[in-house]
Each structure stands twice: as structure tokens, then as C-alpha cells.
């Protein structure tokens, strides 16, 4: 019997016990989903950063805010998060400013609340699926370890029917059990790295959005004096 063929990864997976195969299939499915979310989130964050930089250049170029607002409204489906925050704040500001007997502070507070509500919605969208990546990164190694422990127990139980235990008789069972741990790590490591990276990028975007809301509020405050 060819030992190398018996210990190939595919052979170990196909001849593992039923419980270990279920664990491997679960981890493979989770890994596939995490990679899907990683690529999707990478594209989303990249687009958010690019649109934020573009809008900041347009906003601070000194153009007319009303024209910028109409541009944001007309291109709402392709607007970035910061542009939607600006749109919500300026819309509320224009609506409240048109009302009589309103205190300037109430007008600015209304615009800030509108921007804050839009900010929360945009952050929820940016942070979607991050919890899944965090869960995969923290749970997958333990699921793989469970498969390994079960596989080793199954291998040692099989030794009870063998007259003389040798390394050749126990090695395939232990090897196929260790594959579960390897798949668990394969699922966990990219998920952890992606979660940390995306959390950092989204935190930086959140800081830029919050700074913009404060600066825009100051601009609006000067217009109601």
C-alpha cells in the first residue's frame, strides 16, 4: 500500500469519520462565505474612501452649497456616505431656515440630528458582515479542534481491534483528524486579518465623517447669523 497516497489530503478527507467530515464541510463553507465577504467588504470600503475623497475636494473647492446639494440629490444612487450626510443636513437646514420664528440654534441642531441619523445608517452599512468575520476568526479554530479531538478518539477506538498498535496503523487516523484543525485555521486567519483591517479603515472613515459634520455645522451656523 502506498503510504504517500494514503496520507494525501484528499484521501484523508474522503476517508475521515462522518463527524470529522461534517466539521470539515462546515468549516469549508464558512471559509467560502468569509472570503466572499472579505472581497465584498474590500470593494465597499475602497469605494467609500474614493467617494469621500472626491466629495471633500468638491466641497472645499469653494463652490455653491446649493448647487452641490442639487448635484447630490440628482446622483443619490451613486453618492458616497459623506455626500449623503451633507444632503441630509443641508435639506433639513433649508427646510428649517424657511420657517419663521425659529431660533438659529434650533435650526443648526435640526441639521445636526439629520446628519447624525444618516451617519448612523451609513456606518451600519459599512460595518455589515464584520461581526460574521469576527465570529469566524474566533470560533473556527475551536470547531476544527473539536473535529481533531473527535478524530483522534475515533482512531484510538479503532486500535482496540488491532492486536499490535504501530505508528502505521494510528497515523492515518490522527492525520485525518489534524486536517480539521488545519481547515479551521485556514478559515480563521484570513477572517481575523480582514476584520482588523476593515475595522481600522472604517474607524478612519467614521472620524472623517464626524469631522465633516462638525465643520459643516459651523458653516451653516455662520449662514443663520
Give the pLDDT confidence of 125-141 residue by residue, as tens digits. 999 999 999 999 999 99
Helices (H), the chain: 3-6, 9-14, 18-59, 65-74, 81-97, 104-126, 130-158, 167-223
Is residue 168 scored above 70 in pLDDT? Answer: no
- Percent residues over pLDDT 90 in the chain: 48
pLDDT tens per residue across span 102-112: 788 888 999 99
pLDDT of amino acid 48: 93
DSSP 78: G
Nearest to 209 by CA among 87, 43, 114, 83: 83
208 vs 150, higher pLDDT: 208
**How many Å apart are CA 71 and CA 63, to the nearest integer?**
12
Nearest to 188 by CA among 113, 133, 126: 133
Torsion of CA 120, 121, 123, 126, to 10 degrees: 170
pTM comes to 0.81
| Domain parsing of the chain, residue ranges | 3-223
The gap from C-alpha 216 to its chain's centroid, in whole angstroms, comes to 29
**How many Å apart are CA 80 and CA 47, to the nearest integer?**
8
pLDDT of amino acid 155: 72
Please state, as a whole number, how many other Cβ atoms lie within 10 Å of the Cβ of residue 13: 17
Is residue 195 scored above 50 in pLDDT? Answer: yes
Q: What is the largest CA-CA distance in the chain?
A: 96
**How many Å apart are CA 130 and CA 119, to the nearest integer?**
18
* Highest-scoring range by mean pLDDT, 12-16, 105-109, 115-119: 115-119
pLDDT of amino acid 161: 62
Amino acid at each position: 500500500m502506498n503510504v504517500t497516497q494514503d496520507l494525501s489530503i484528499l484521501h484523508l478527507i474522503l476517508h475521515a469519520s462522518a463527524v470529522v467530515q461534517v466539521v470539515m464541510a462546515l468549516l469549508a463553507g464558512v471559509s467560502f462565505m468569509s472570503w466572499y465577504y472579505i472581497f465584498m467588504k474590500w470593494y465597499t470600503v475602497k469605494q467609500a474612501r474614493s467617494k469621500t475623497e472626491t466629495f471633500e475636494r468638491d466641497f472645499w473647492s469653494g463652490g455653491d452649497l446649493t448647487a452641490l446639494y442639487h448635484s447630490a440629490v440628482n446622483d443619490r444612487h451613486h453618492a458616497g456616505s459623506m455626500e449623503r450626510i451633507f444632503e441630509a443636513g443641508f435639506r433639513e437646514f433649508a427646510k428649517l431656515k424657511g420657517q419663521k420664528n425659529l431660533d438659529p440654534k434650533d435650526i443648526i441642531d435640526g441639521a445636526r440630528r439629520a446628519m447624525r441619523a444618516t451617519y448612523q445608517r451609513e456606518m451600519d452599512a459599512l460595518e455589515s458582515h464584520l461581526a460574521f468575520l469576527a465570529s469566524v476568526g474566533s470560533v473556527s479554530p475551536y470547531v476544527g479542534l473539536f473535529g481533531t479531538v473527535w478524530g483522534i478518539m475515533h482512531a484510538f477506538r479503532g486500535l482496540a481491534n488491532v492486536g499490535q498498535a504501530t505508528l502505521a496503523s494510528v497515523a492515518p487516523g490522527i492525520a485525518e483528524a489534524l486536517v480539521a484543525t488545519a481547515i479551521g485555521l485556514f478559515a480563521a486567519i484570513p477572517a481575523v486579518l480582514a476584520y482588523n483591517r476593515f475595522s481600522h479603515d472604517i474607524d478612519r472613515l467614521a472620524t472623517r465623517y464626524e469631522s465633516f459634520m462638525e465643520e459643516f455645522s459651523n458653516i451653516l451656523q455662520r449662514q443663520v447669523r
